Structure 1
């Protein structure tokens, strides 16, 4: 029997193999019901925050975009452009689902840090298709997410954020996991506003910018995802 797929998007300065280790508790709960897919980001990078020394020797590291400069808006967030990075990323995710997902429909996205905002845009694109009869994602999990338009200074960030919100919020059910001591928690809180209020859940865990370690938190997230996908 073909299982539906969930895509896991790692943070910046890490890779898919590392993210498999970081998400092992949640993955173990989802594995019986879904095909779990872990793509590598396309652009080489140095190690991200907290990657070293624990993951020394686990390179190469990668990132989804360079959002550290004013060039970021043109490089990735030209969202109205069908040739933008977001569109290309969606194509690569869909190809991964076809080739490694065994034909199962993409029903969920789990994204950490930069992977959360990238996942948000993938789902936004799919929802645009859903209006025309496509799509199928039921739930998005954002862990310690960062907001779009970090690059380009305060004015560019605010303008980019307004433009994105003007295109409408992401409508699918969402879970937002935020560490109480995450130095980027303000960005995670702001990212919540890019998702519709209906079906949106914010959960706090003890810790910083990392996947939650508590079994109870992972079990709760798994239950939400299973219910959203009709698996309970």
Structure 2
């Protein structure tokens, strides 16, 4: 049985759409991992760039409400993601895009607070949580660095949310993180060399965590 990777889509898309968006990377990873794509919990209009290509692929989903700089406190659906993580796992890592990377950050922090750690998290065009200290009196404070899980941050040079992706990266322990930039916008990388590099790094993270040669 192949080790599993949890795949979290961006806001206004879905598991099915993310499967298409990530096809270049997933084709390289499939001999090594089982990629498990799951839907967000909230119905929402289609996200940026979704139409017209993914027209007719409703329902579109999101993970949390974070409009205009306001975010629910605490995130009421975190327990749903934890339940999904436990039910569909075990997982060795996460691949997440845009708001999915934000949801992944909440999940990773929750796991680490309970002594659990994944082999890696690959975060693409991520947006930063406004509040990371879930369920504590310090919920309004951004604590850095907060996550020690090995992280791979993938940021497009022309991504309008590039600054948020860079802030998100600062919430991961510097010695445990890697940065890969690509010449693109708010989308999964299309360059074959970038995807090959990413796949090799993901495979290496898993191998190092499990003492594989």
- TM above 0.5, one fold? yes
**Would you say the 8 A contact 1:106–1:136 is kept in 2?**
no
TM-score by length of 2: 0.89
Cα distance per residue 1:104-125 (max 9 Å; x no partner): x311101100000111111111
Q: Which residue matches 2:149?
A: 172
1:128 equivalenced with 2:113 (yes/no): yes
In the TM superposition, residue 199 of structure 1 has moved relative to its aligned partner by 2.3
**Would you say the 8 A contact 2:14–2:61 is kept in 1?**
yes
**Would you say the 8 A contact 1:178–1:205 is kept in 2?**
yes
Cα distance per residue 1:141-195 (max 9 Å; x no partner): 1100001129xxxxxxxx85x62416x5110111111111111111001000010
Distance 2:192 2:70 in 1: 41
**Structural RMSD (CA):** 1.9
Q: Which residue matches 1:79?
A: none
TM-score by length of 1: 0.82
Aligned length: 203
- Equivalent of residue 189 in structure 2, options 201, 204, 212: 212
How do 1:43-62 residues align onto structure 2 when only pairs under 5 Å count? 43-62=42-61
Cα distance per residue 1:57-85 (max 9 Å; x no partner): 11110010111157633361xxxxxxx42
Consecutive unaligned residues of structure 1, counting only runs of 5 or more, are 77-83, 98-104, 151-158
Consecutive unaligned residues of structure 2, counting only runs of 5 or more, are 132-137
Q: Which residue matches 2:206?
A: 229
Cα distance per residue 1:6-43 (max 9 Å; x no partner): 01100000000000000011111111111110000011
Q: Which residue matches 1:81?
A: none
Distance 1:45 1:164 in 2: 27
In structure 2, do the counterparts of structure 1 residues 112 and 89 end up closer, same or farther at CA, with 3 Å as the change threshold? same
Give the secondary structure class of the aligned counterpart of 1:56.
coil
